[in-house]
Amino acid sequence: MTDVTDSKRDEHTVDTAVTTDNGATPAEAAADESAAADTPAVVAGPAGTAEGQAAEDAGRNDGDTAAAGTASAGDAEKPAAGGEDDLPSMDAMVEQYDVAARTLHRGQIIEGRVVEVRDDEVIVYVGYKSEGRIPREELGLAEGQSPSDVVKVDDKIMVQVLRVDDEDTVILSKRRADERTAWERLTAKFDAKEPVEAPVTARVKGGLLVDVGVRGFVPASHVDLNFVDDLEQYVGQTLRFRIIELDRQRRNVVLSRKELLEEELRAAKERAFSELQAGQIIPGVVRRLTDFGAFVDIGGGVEGLLHVSEMAYSRVDHPRDVLSEGQEIKVKVLGVDRGRERISLSLKETLPDPWTTIEERYGEGQIVEGEVTRTVDFGAFVKLEDGVEGLVHISQLADHRVENASDVVQPGQHVKVKVINLDPQARRIGLSIKAANPKPPKPKREPRAEEPMTYSDPGPEGVTIGDVVDGLSQLGEMLEEARSEREDQ
């Protein structure tokens, strides 16, 4: 190294310093000296100190700037090769240090990032000097699943360290990490008496299996409020449960849906009986059908009774003729008995009453068509429309004497009837089949000429009626004609 200084240099002042590296030639040194002549002096600190070195570096930089001469401003702004931009960032250096310094131990739970998914394993970056491997059997795959069904590249997952080999190969398990996390979550839910949500995976003897991170069991008696014979219908559904037994050592988790439903039902009943009022029209779902009516869920599992007589304005033989289970309907609240926890409902009260406008559609003397709904000892009932049934008295079934209504009409038969009376207030309408189908009148018979009665000798056997009344064989016909005339009148 060659130092060139002014002869009048004092202890703390330097005019310039020119350094040539790698054996600069004299001509190069002279050129550097000439350039340094235009460089302003720099005050340096004591030789060998940080201040002195900084001053010397500043002088050198200024000299280099001046030597640049007429270099363009754009070129001056370009960073020199090998400058600060090429140095690793602070975050990168910290990460490299952490990787080099990180140690893993068996049983540790760490977060990793999936970098590759293979058929037999998954490669995970865990911030260690080498990447970790999750064998297929440690992924927690369900039957029929493949690794790609469970994880994807760049997914962040929690894994448990199983071991670190001598070659720094890290063997990991996602299944065990998930199980440990699941047990911690279940313990917290159990202590807080909070419900859990889980899918039903299978039906087994005595109940159902559910996936709560670990395998859980639901006894058949705890599946619903009432005992259910067909448990297969729940497989694949995601349901809410209450944890009733939890033993981590024995890996035992027992759950109940029934207890949770009972709690929700009690809360729903309290709300319903405090808010429901007679006269309200509310939505509901038909849950069960019986011979006497239907039970309708009006919300939260609270059921009200819809009696068969309140299903329609016309007669209903069985609720299944009008409703079906699962059907959504609107019903009117007839009464709320809080003491007995009973709610009475009506369907027909939500429908227009046909009797309020009956006179607009029917009048006395009108002939209409109807359907026989049932026969009784005194006649037959005929439905004219939904909610409107009329009675055909037995005397109005035919133009002859009828002993039994079923001898003339049958339920389901369509007949023509004549309205003979109408009482909207009493909701009654009288009908006649005989009047709607009059019998054609018989032709009148010409009167027979009277013949003088003669008597003959009775002989030894005495006198007979035939001897007295001529044409006794026609007496029955005469009586039948007289009877028919009276009925026509």
What are the pLDDT digits (tens) for 324-351?
Answer: 999 999 999 999 988 888 999 999 989 8
The pLDDT assigned to 89 comes to 61
Task: For residue 414, give the amino acid letter.
Answer: H
In degrees, rounded to 5, the angle at the alpha carbon of residue 359 between the alpha carbons of residues 371 and 415 is: 15
Per-range mean pLDDT, top range of 6-20, 159-173, 373-387, 474-488: 373-387
The pLDDT assigned to 55 comes to 39
- Does the pLDDT of residue 178 top 50, yes or no? yes
pLDDT confidence bin for 422, thresholds 50/70/90:
very high
Contacts of 37 (CB under 8 A, 6+ apart): 16
Backbone angles phi, psi at 447, to 5 degrees: -65, 140
Length of the chain counted residue by residue: 489
**Stretch 208-230: mean pLDDT:** 92
Write the secondary structure of 213-279 as one string of H (helix), E (strand) and C (coil): CCEEEEEHHHCCCCCCCCHHHHCCCEEEEEEEEEECCCCEEEEECHHHHHHHHHHHHHHHHHHCCCC
In this structure, are residues 55 and 45 in contact, taking their beta carbons and an 8 Å threshold? yes
- Token pair in block for residue 129: 């000097």
**Stretch 201-226: mean pLDDT:** 93
In this structure, are residues 306 and 331 in contact, taking their beta carbons and an 8 Å threshold? yes
Q: Is the dihedral of CA 278, 281, 283, 289 positive or negative?
A: positive
SS3 at position 66: helix
In this structure, are residues 216 and 254 in contact, taking their beta carbons and an 8 Å threshold? yes
**Which residue is associated with the tokens 């003897």?**
205
DSSP H or E segment with residue 57: helix 50-67
Region of poorest pLDDT, from 17-26, 208-217, 279-288, 386-395:
17-26
In this structure, are residues 106 and 152 in contact, taking their beta carbons and an 8 Å threshold? no
Q: What is the mean pLDDT of the chain?
A: 77
The pLDDT assigned to 392 comes to 93
Question: Could you tell me where the beta strands, DSSP code E, fall in 308-359?
Answer: 328-337, 342-346
Task: For residue 453, give the amino acid letter.
Answer: M
- Does the pLDDT of residue 288 top 70, yes or no? yes
The pLDDT assigned to 93 comes to 47
Backbone angles phi, psi at 189, to 5 degrees: -65, -40
Residue among 326, 373, 323, 324 at smallest CA distance from 347: 323
| DSSP alpha helix (H) spans, 78-199 | 90-101, 147-150, 174-192
Number of neighbours of residue 346 by Cβ within 10 angstroms: 19
In this structure, are residues 268 and 318 in contact, taking their beta carbons and an 8 Å threshold? no
In degrees, rounded to 5, the angle at the alpha carbon of residue 55 between the alpha carbons of residues 49 and 58 is: 140
Number of neighbours of residue 331 by Cβ within 10 angstroms: 26
pLDDT confidence bin for 476, thresholds 50/70/90:
low
This prediction's pTM: 0.47
pLDDT confidence bin for 313, thresholds 50/70/90:
confident
